[in-house]
Amino acid sequence: MKCLITGAGGFVGGYLLKELKQSYTDFLGIGIQSGPSITEDFELPKSYQSVVCDIRNLNQVRSIIHEFLPDTVFHLAAQPFVPKAVEDPGETLEINVHGTLNLLESLRSLKKKVRFVYISSSDVYGNVPESYLPVTESIVPAPLNPYSSSKYCAEIYCLQYHRWIQDLEIVIARPFNHTGPKQGLNFVIPNFCSQVLEALKRPESERKILVGDLSSSRDFLDVRDVVSAYRILAEKGKSGEIYNICSGKEVIIRDVLGGIIFASGQKIPVEIDSARFRPAEMKRLFGDSRKLKQLGWEPRFELSDTIQDVYDWHRNTAE
């Protein structure tokens, strides 16, 4: 069994490869960068190979897929940052939508049965009325920014190809916020950890961290729980279906920051910086994962333990 992972060199890629080691005989990762990636920090399958590929280039994508002949594809590659999407929605569209379409077209021309797990985002839901929380997969998405719009558009293409091409078995994952060691500073928990550690380097009188809106709430998972869900969706997910990947627990961002400061063992003042507020920010979002749990998935990690792991990783990396 052959497995292809797009965006394999990113944050989630290494965790996914570790999760899948016993499930496939051959692995191919594709990504846009030729230099070292965080994937190299993991004990990778011996059969793992990686190639440079820009998924916006149809000829490149088709050539790689036709040579490798995958049985399963996990499509992680994306432009995932909302501020960057707002700044350059065209590039986000090219990567997240056209890149996905190039993969689907390449698999269509393969004329071979393939499982395709598309990694979307809970961000597609937008501002859900409180009466509809926790969010189920039946809620009609209402994207609030170019990033979530691009992910929803790619979902529509995936479902269209599912209906159109019999050999393509397509499952859509909607992961909610997830974190773990090695995640980039563009995401809330690593960013808070980094700020706390930087503050601790300064004299006590000068210690403070700057934050945006702390009153919003999200649903957090450990990345290891998320990749186990991806594996289960590849094995058991029903083609043409969408699955939330979430804890089902609502966590206020202020409490997340409090947990990180607690992990530091110090008292650190917090200052609200209005410049860090995002336009059209979702206030509350947490999900319902009963559909995924029917396939046998259960989260294993508590958020407090994950926060401690992320904080310890950043502290050890900084030393």
Environment class of residue 269 by beta-carbon count within 10 Å: exposed (0-12), middle (13-18) or buried (19+)?
exposed
Residue 251, helix vs strand vs coil: strand
State in words which class domain 2-178+220-245 has: alpha beta
φ, ψ dihedrals at 95, nearest 5°: -75, -50
The HSE-up count of residue 143 (CA atoms within 13 Å, CB side) is: 17
Predicted pLDDT of residue 36: 47
Mean pLDDT lowest among 91-105, 189-203, 272-286: 272-286
Give the start-to-end residue ranges of the domains of the chain.
Answer: 2-178+220-245, 182-218+249-286+301-318
Q: What backbone torsions phi and psi does residue 37 show, to the nearest 5 degrees?
A: -130, 170
The per-residue pLDDT for range 153-163, each reduced to its tens digit, is 999 999 999 99
Provide the sign of the torsion angle of the four alpha carbons 27, 28, 34, 39, taken in this order. negative
Under the phi-then-psi rule, with left for phi > 0, alpha for psi from -120 to 50, and beta for the rest, what region is 182? Answer: left
Between 98-107, 208-217, 277-286, the lowest mean confidence (pLDDT) is in: 277-286
Q: Enter the pTM of the model.
A: 0.94
CATH topology of domain 182-218+249-286+301-318: UDP-galactose 4-epimerase; domain 1 (3.90.25)
| C-alpha to C-alpha distances, 29 to 167, 186, 218, nearest whole angstrom | 22, 23, 30
- Closest listed residue to residue 162, CA positions, set 244, 249, 104, 93: 104
User: Among residues of the chain, what percentage have pLDDT more than 90?
Assistant: 85
